[in-house]
């Protein structure tokens, strides 16, 4: 079996497990819907653009912690030994990155739709914000997948995910907020958009490279 086929098989395995454990999936959906509905009840009027934008990305951060961060912690030692015998560490971590990216992209879209439904739509360029949401969901999922892999080797301590991820996720969130602000402006410089997208893509590439380099050492532990 080729490396690509193994990666696809591992992604399918995670998808099947997620479908069988639907309470986790629906629990996250309930968390998203209830959080946004509470914001709708607590804010008497539609929030201004900057507040709307900040709330959206803060919620994306917590959604990612609830969905992606558990990906390695839920794997027990016996299951990891089995994966050790059928796949390489690079294939395993790439499959995890792909699966978590898919899951986070879905949750980001759900969050965006609910935000538009309950908190109106102050975005001037909806298509641009939609693209930024997908890019942001992908970036955040990559970071927390790597943090989850590290935390899973430290006595299953989920608190380490937040501690380790904070220095990396903070500049990423600031970049995403700054980029998404351009979608609220009637006129913006296209060069500024591409510059910020390039920075985010660079961070994503760095996280992927670090995952590929570091995970084999965790795998051998």
Residues 116-143 have a mean pLDDT of 87
The ranges assigned to domains in the chain are 3-220
d(CA 121, CA 138): 22
Residue 145 has pLDDT above 80, yes or no: yes
**Among 1-5, 127-131, 205-209, which stretch is predicted with the lowest mean pLDDT?**
1-5
106-117 exposure pattern, b = at least 16 Cβ within 10 A, e = fewer: ebbebbbebbee
Residues 159-185 have a mean pLDDT of 80
Residues 6+ apart with CB under 8 A from 46: 52, 119, 120, 122
pTM: 0.87
Residue 12: the pLDDT is 87
Counting residues of the chain whose pLDDT is more than 70, the rounded percentage is 86
Element spanning 179, H or E? helix 159-181
d(CA 219, CA 86): 13
**Among 17-21, 91-95, 115-119, which stretch is predicted with the lowest mean pLDDT?**
17-21
């Amino acid at each position: 079996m080729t490396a690509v086929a193994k990666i696809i098989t591992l992604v399918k395995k995670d998808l099947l497990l997620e479908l069988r454990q639907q309470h986790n999936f629906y629990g996250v959906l309930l968390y998203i819907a209830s959080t946004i509905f509470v914001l709708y009840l607590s804010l008497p009027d539609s929030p201004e653009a900057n507040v709307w934008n900040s709330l959206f990305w803060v919620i994306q951060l917590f959604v990612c912690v609830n969905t992606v961060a558990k990906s390695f912690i839920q794997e027990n030692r016996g299951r990891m030994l089995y994966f050790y015998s059928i796949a390489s560490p690079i294939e395993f971590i790439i499959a995890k990155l792909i699966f978590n990216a898919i899951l986070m992209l879905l949750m980001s879209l759900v969050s965006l739709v609910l935000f538009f439904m309950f908190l109106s739509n102050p975005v001037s360029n909806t298509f641009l914000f939609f693209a930024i949401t997908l890019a942001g969901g992908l970036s955040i999922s990559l970071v927390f997948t790597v943090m989850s892999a590290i935390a899973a080797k430290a006595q299953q301590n989920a608190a380490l995910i937040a501690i380790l991820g904070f220095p990396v996720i903070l500049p990423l969130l600031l970049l995403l907020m700054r980029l998404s602000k351009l979608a609220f402006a009637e006129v913006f410089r296209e060069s500024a958009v591409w510059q910020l997208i390039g920075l985010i893509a660079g961070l994503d590439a760095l996280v992927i490279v670090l995952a590929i380099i570091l995970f084999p050492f965790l795998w051998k532990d």
